[in-house]
Amino acid sequence: MWELLAGLVGLVVGGLVGYLVLRGQQRPEPAPPPPTPTELPPIVSQIINVLRTAGVVVGPHDEVLQSSAQARTLGIVRGSRVIQPELLKLVREVRVEGQLRTLDQELPRDTYSKMHLSSRVAPLGDGLVLVLSEDRTAAKRVDDTRRDFVANVSHELKTPIGAVALLSEAITQAAEDPEAVRRFAGRLGNESTRLAELVRQIIDLSRLQSEDPLQKMDVVQVDQVLTNAVDRCRVDADRRKINLTLTPATGLEVMGDNVQLTGAVVNLVENAIVYSDDEAKVVVSSRRVVEDDESFVEISVSDNGIGIAPAETQRIFERFYRVDYSRSRANGGTGLGLSIVKHIAGAHGGTVSVWSQLGHGSTFTIRVPEHIGRDVAKNGYDQP
């Protein structure tokens, strides 16, 4: 009896031990502890924040440990993650390879424009990766503009230079024919004038695109600018029987360069004359405009000429762009006049705009800040 009872107890204990052993084997291993957050020296944060470029330090697990405000503005990071897929892929490759890599990207900025982002990705050790990104959109636009400008200048110079060479040869061959020599010589003079004007405007445009387009700033009498511009265009207007009118003086003043502003108005008036039919009307005027407690001077040149199609009004300020190529070339136009006007207005802190309707004419308006003299500042404005 006692032997049977001892056997049963042994059987129960053995089963219990076996169950416990089996349960211990099936129990899942405890999860590994979360990675310890990587701490960066304070100096890293200070350096990242004073960089001109966007700076990001990425940790071993692709977490963003430090990022500058510019990096967030450019859309490189969001929260604790790098959100540019290509850039994140490069970060991982650099962490493994341990080599500096670069990446140039063209990313959508909004519906109508793109951003050109240039990034350098470097390993820092211990799984850390440094990303330095720079918005190269403006620089690329300048490079593209410069390249297009050189190409356009080369193309535009070929025509008068080629014509001068051909006419010189024709004069030599027609040495025995005085009438032909006079005819060719007249055309040679026209092409020489065109070439000289083109070179002058290229120089003017290059100067306006420099870092300091205004060598000096003085108080400029707007009435004097308009009077000088109209006087310079009077002969061409009379030859075309165009009624060139200057509205009464306004006594307005601006700060800037008298020669540049006069040149800008001359370009607008010359364009109005070129793109108007004989006996048309061109009006030059100025007025004061007050908006949000700021005072501006608007200089307008209006005509009732052929007008400009809506699709072209956005392009007419581009270098060498012509609305009517044959009419412009026939009148010695270079295609640089309106581009120069745009840069002169910008150099004076202003803008140039156009209203136009096909068959009804155009109005070009330069708007620049008004110079407020002591008396005006003290006594206030007489509203227009």
Q: What is the pLDDT of residue 322?
A: 59
Domains and CATH numbers, the chain: 42-135 (3.30.450.20), 137-211 (1.10.287.130), 215-384 (3.30.565.10)
Read off the amino acid at residue 37.
P
> Is residue 358 scored above 90 in pLDDT?
no
Token pair of 139 as six digits = 């620089």
pLDDT, tens digit (0-9, with 9 covering 90-100), for 303-323: 988 888 887 777 777 766 655
- Mean pLDDT across the stretch 231-248? 90
List Cα–Cα distances, 101 to 51, 87, 119, 200, 260, in angstroms. 19, 10, 8, 46, 48
CB neighbours of residue 249 within 10 Å: 13
Q: What is the pLDDT of residue 340?
A: 83
Q: Which among 127, 131, 118, 120 is positioned nearest to 98, based on CA atoms?
A: 127
**DSSP code string of 246-285:** EPPP---EEEE-HHHHHHHHHHHHHHHHHTS-TT-EEEEE
pLDDT range class, residue 218, cuts 50, 70, 90 = confident
Read off the amino acid at residue 217.
M
List Cα–Cα distances, 267 to 87, 212, 216, 227, 309, in angstroms. 49, 22, 21, 14, 20
pLDDT, tens digit (0-9, with 9 covering 90-100), for 245-259: 999 999 999 999 898
List Cα–Cα distances, 189 to 24, 163, 175, 185, 352, in angstroms. 106, 11, 17, 6, 34
Residue 335 vs residue 360, higher pLDDT: 360
Cβ(369)–Cβ(252) below 8 Å: no
Segment (H or E) for 329: helix 325-330
> Is residue 152 scored above 50 in pLDDT?
yes
In three-state secondary structure terms, 30 is coil
62 φψ region: left (φ > 0), alpha (ψ -120 to 50), beta (else): left
Q: What is the pLDDT of residue 341?
A: 87
- Mean pLDDT across the stretch 199-209? 68
Q: What is the pLDDT of residue 194?
A: 72
The model's pTM is: 0.52
**DSSP code string of 165-193:** HHHHHHHHHTTT-HHHHHHHHHHHHHHHH
Cβ(164)–Cβ(191) below 8 Å: yes
> Is residue 338 scored above 80 in pLDDT?
yes
> Is residue 101 scored above 90 in pLDDT?
yes
Q: Give the whole-angstrom CA distance, residue 153 versus residue 145.
A: 12
Strand ranges inside the chain, DSSP E:
54-58, 64-67, 77-78, 81-82, 101-108, 114-125, 128-135, 218-221, 243-246, 253-256, 281-291, 294-303, 351-357, 361-369
Q: Which among 240, 310, 309, 311 is positioned nearest to 269, based on CA atoms?
A: 240
**Mean pLDDT for all residues in the chain:** 77
Cβ(320)–Cβ(338) below 8 Å: no
Which of 41-50, 133-142, 158-167, 325-334 bottoms out in mean pLDDT, i.e. has the lowest? 325-334
Q: Give the whole-angstrom CA distance, residue 314 versus residue 12.
A: 95
Token pair of 165 as six digits = 């060479």
pLDDT range class, residue 38, cuts 50, 70, 90 = low
Which of 68-72, 241-245, 363-367 bottoms out in mean pLDDT, i.e. has the lowest? 68-72
Q: Give the whole-angstrom CA distance, residue 167 versus residue 174.
A: 10
